[in-house]
A and B are shown apart, each in its own frame.
Chain A
Amino acid sequence: MQRQEQDRELKLEVEGLQKSFRLHNRGGIQVSGFRDIAFKVKKHHFLALCGPSGAGKSSILKTIYRTYLPGAGQMHLYREDGDIIDLACCSEAEVLRQRREEISIVTQFLKILPRVTALEVAAAPLIEKGRPANQAHREAADLLSFLGIRRNLFNLSPLTFSGGEQQRINIARAVIAPRPLILLDEPTASLDPESVQKVLFLLQTLKKRHIAMIGIFHDRNIREQISDDVYEVRAAS
């Protein structure tokens, strides 16, 4: 009974996860990404990954998102509908479904097309969920304003923005219609202290909405403000 109680709280369980890269055009050398990774993330919890540069923290997030193929191990996702899926070995079609319904990722850099405006980028996840376009645009505008993006930038491509502004657009896109599991790769790296606090505030409200998060922060002070657990990634030798 208690075990079941625990399971209901669980969002992601990673065990024995390992990744290495074989570079065929460099004489077939094998580069180790990370190994023996194991952690659990609960709903409404924030797990911080820490460790030195090159330890494989970003690679772990990419592997959970399946942009990288895992070499070995399991990644059990506890879906909101009760199903359990092993992200390490499920089909590509299954992964695409999880990306639509369960998992999103915020990368360090904004990857979008140059022909889309800031407002459209931020509103897109809401529209995908079926919200009428004008309502989605209104909500996106409120969120961008909260994050300190000036109104006269709303209808420009974020690719013309500064690094910090781009990063806030990226965060807006992830929190506006949040998936139950969000992966964050240094979401505050190029933000000023005031913007960092606003982002942390948004992430705190997500926790209250039972959203699980795994994130990488280099700033220890920021990490301590948001994380419930810390997992130390050791450099693979």
Chain B
Amino acid sequence: MMLEIEDVSKVYGTGCSDCLELTGNRHGRAICPRCRSVVAVNRVNLQVGANLVLGVVGESGSGKSTLLKLIYRELKTSAGSIYFQADFPDGRKRLNLMELAYRELSIIRNTHMSMIYQDVRRGLNFLFSAGGNIAEKIIAAGERKYDAVREQVLQFSEKIDIPTERVDEYPETFSGGQQQRIQIAKALASSPRLLLLDEPTTGLDVSVQARILDLVKVLHREMGFTMIVVSHDLGVIKHLTDLTVVMKNGSIVEQGLTDQILEDPQHAYTQLLVSSIL
């Protein structure tokens, strides 16, 4: 398995010995009644194979974005391990993301995994040009020759349909949809093995959304990487993913093939979610 999430929990607050037991979907709450800590992610177990696309759905506060942040190690887990399998620069084949030193983590983020944010300002540096943003990632991944970097920047901007003569302009001169496409190019410029997307099209109008999802799909087919998409929009999930995980109150309530989740949902909450599609 490319990614193995083992018994991962994230507790905000002081925490007590009963937090995990007293919260989660079974109890219908994410706040521990004893110590008032918030259990954002509660003993999640998940495995994702190479090149597959996994969707994570659930309402606001279900813990889906927190789970993604734990994988990217923007946050540290309170308990549990997340194993990442790939050919790493130091010769290792499998490592626990939770045990990485900051230096190692930044290398992995420059070479093996990337995150795409809903808010482009978190993914793009607005003080650099569009091309500069893409170049930054290519350089961080190890390319040092100017001509080669420039060549790849132009290739990527063509791929994401940004006119090559505009690559030296700053992100704010582009439209919201274009900015998101530049963020995608930047994230993929290091050819990562794992791409994490947090509500990648939320807030964009539908025509722009469709174009971005199509682009992500084409790039996934061409480049081959594992993808985890967090979205509250079942349309996005249906369009992009092979497998889906449904979360509520920090725990996974159901997981399966995406078409099965949508057409034969087993859990009461998933049935409610599916029956709420417009």
Q: Is B151 an interface residue (CB 8 A)?
A: no
Given contacts A68-B263, A113-B239, A115-B214, contact A92 B256 (CB under 8 A): yes
The reply to whether the CB of A84 lies closer than 8 angstroms to some CB of chain B is no
Cβ of A93 and Cβ of B260 under 8 Å apart? no
Interface segment among B63-71, B96-104, B133-141, B265-273: the answer is B265-273
Q: How many A-B residue pairs have CB under 8 A?
A: 44
Asked if B271 and A92 make an inter-chain contact with CB atoms under 8 angstroms apart, the answer reads no
Mark interface residues in A114-147 (1 if CB within 8 Å of B CB, else 0): 0100000000000000000000000000000000
Query: Chain B interface: which of A21-29, A43-51, A72-80, A200-208?
Result: A21-29
The digit string for A161-193, where 1 denotes a CB below 8 A from any CB of B, is 000000000000000000000000000000000
Inter-chain CA distance A29–B110, complex, in Å, is: 52
Residue pair B263, A96 in contact (C-beta under 8 Å): no
Which residues of A99-120 are within 8 A (CB) of B?
A: 113, 115
CA distance A69 to B271 in the complex (A): 14
Docked pose: A168 CA to B180 CA in angstroms = 37
Q: Does A62 contact B (CB under 8 A)?
A: yes
Query: Counting CB contacts under 8 A, is A40 at the interface?
Result: no
Question: Judging by beta carbons under 8 Å apart, are B210 and A115 in contact?
Answer: yes
Interface size on B, residues (CB 8 A): 20
Which residues of chain A are within 8 angstroms of B167 by Cβ–Cβ distance? none
B158 interfacial contact with A, CB 8 Å: no
A24 touching B267 in the complex, CB below 8 Å, given contacts A95-B257, A115-B210: yes
Q: Which one of A21, A23, A96, A115 contacts B257 once the chains associate, using CB atoms below 8 Å?
A: A96
Q: What chain A residues lie within 8 Å of B255 (beta carbons)?
A: 92
Nearest CB of chain A from residue B264's CB, rounded to whole Å:
4
- In B69-111, the 8 Å CB interface with A consists of none
- CB B275 to nearest CB in A, in angstroms, measures 6
Provide the bound-state CA to CA distance between A156 and B272, in Å: 36
Considering only CB atoms and an 8 Å cut-off, how many residues of chain A contact the other chain?
Answer: 16
A24 contact set on B, CB distance < 8 A: 267-268, 271-272
**CB-CB < 8 A to A210: which residues of B?**
none
- B272 in contact with A67 (CB, 8 Å): no
- When chains A and B are docked, how far (Å) is the Cα of A21 from the Cα of B266? 8
- Closest Cβ of chain B to A90, distance in Å, is 11
Q: Annotate B14-56 by CB proximity to A: 1 below 8 A, 0 otherwise.
A: 0000000000000000000000000000000000010010000
A67 close to B263 (CB less than 8 A): yes
Contact partners of B52 in chain A: CB under 8 A? 93, 96
A66 in contact with B49 (CB, 8 Å): no
Q: Would A93 and B266 be within 8 Å (CB), given that A25-B272, A66-B257, A67-B260 are in contact?
A: no
Chain A residues proximal to chain B, CB less than 8 Å: 21-25, 62, 66-69, 92-93, 95-96, 113, 115
Interchain Cβ contacts under 8 Å between A and B, 16 examples: A22-B266, A24-B267, A24-B268, A25-B271, A62-B263, A66-B257, A67-B260, A69-B264, A92-B256, A93-B49, A93-B52, A95-B257, A96-B257, A113-B214, A115-B210, A115-B214
Besides A67-B263, A96-B242, 8 other A-B contacts (C-beta < 8 A): A21-B264, A24-B271, A66-B260, A67-B264, A68-B264, A92-B242, A113-B214, A115-B214
